[in-house]
């Protein structure tokens, strides 16, 4: 079984199944319900042909939630490039990291997150001019005007189930589902354009940058010392002292 580093940071918020990983059975034996997101990045290459790397586990998380802080700090699907830049700068990251993550090669978004681009962009009663017209017609079939805002569309319309660099090619072809994504290519003079063009033509370069970017993201403002807790399930706080001590003991044992 791999050695688990003690100084750790959970990095990937994904939906890969983790129950088949070597660590899963070990955590079960020690009474820890390991969430899929804890070890998600160990096996994406097998599940979606994406890059792989050693994920740093055991990040200390807060015992309280801050919805307002999250909504303020995380870029929204409709934000401009300048706003995205400001939010990344606030945590010591640059805009190119946002591009390097490129994780929208996977996943789906609800119509309510982008329907304004289809019918009433910027309140002008017209679609977003940066949308490919064929792609626009397809999206209108999925998200009719005044339809359910909870219907979903693939973030990557070309290879939605494969982790690859088509996300960047889509942006070049004006097929970015979210406004915040298309801004990375369609904003005149954007510093991300040259890097986006590189990733579109060189998947290996994208994979290498993606790995480092995910590690960097996982190291944003970690709690240290006795602050917070290492969660038994990363989606919720530990329910009791026994659960917390079980997790702490496991990581100390394998450190």
Ligand-binding site membership of 164 (annotated): yes
Evaluate whether 112 touches 151 at the Cβ level (below 8 Å): no
Pairing state of beta strands 152-154 and 108-110? Answer: antiparallel
Cα–Cα distance, 197 to 121 (Å, whole number)? 26
Ligand-binding site membership of 72 (annotated): no
Ligand-binding site membership of 63 (annotated): no
Ligand-binding site membership of 181 (annotated): no
The total number of residues shown for the chain amounts to 255
Collect contacts of 42-45 with beta carbons under 8 A, ≥24 apart.
42/18, 43/16, 43/18, 44/14, 44/16, 44/163
Ligand-binding site membership of 105 (annotated): yes
Cα–Cα distance, 129 to 122 (Å, whole number)? 11
Cα–Cα distance, 212 to 175 (Å, whole number)? 26
Cα–Cα distance, 5 to 220 (Å, whole number)? 18
Ligand-binding site membership of 61 (annotated): no
> Which residues are annotated binding-site positions for heme b?
104
Q: Give binding residues as ranges.
A: 75, 104-105, 156, 159, 164
Bind-site residues for Ca(2+): 105, 156, 159, 164
List, as residue ranges, the binding site for substrate.
75
């Amino acid at each position: 079984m791999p050695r688990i580093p003690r100084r750790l940071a959970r990095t990937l918020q994904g939906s890969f199944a983790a129950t088949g990983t070597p660590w899963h059975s070990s955590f079960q034996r020690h009474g820890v319900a390991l969430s899929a997101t804890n070890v998600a990045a160990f096996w994406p290459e097998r599940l979606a042909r994406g890059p792989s790397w050693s994920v740093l586990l055991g990040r200390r998380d807060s015992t309280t939630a801050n919805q307002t802080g999250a909504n303020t700090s995380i870029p929204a699907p409709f934000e401009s490039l300048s706003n995205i830049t400001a939010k990344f700068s606030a945590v010591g990251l640059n805009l190119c990291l946002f591009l390097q993550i490129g994780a929208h090669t996977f996943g789906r978004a609800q119509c309510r997150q982008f329907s304004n681009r289809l019918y009433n962009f910027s309140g002008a009663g017209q679609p977003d001019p940066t949308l490919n017209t064929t792609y626009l017609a397809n999206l209108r079939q999925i998200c009719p005007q005044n339809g359910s805002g909870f219907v979903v569309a693939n973030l990557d319309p070309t290879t939605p189930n494969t982790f690859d660099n088509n996300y960047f090619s889509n942006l070049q072809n004006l097929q970015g589902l979210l406004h915040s994504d298309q801004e990375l290519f369609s904003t005149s003079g954007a510093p991300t354009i040259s890097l986006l063009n590189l990733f579109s033509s060189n998947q290996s370069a994208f994979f290498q940058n993606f790995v480092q970017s995910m590690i960097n993201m996982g190291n944003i403002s970690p709690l240290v010392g006795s602050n917070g807790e290492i969660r038994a399930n990363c989606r919720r706080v530990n329910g009791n002292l026994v659960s917390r001590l079980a997790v702490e003991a496991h990581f100390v044992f394998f450190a």
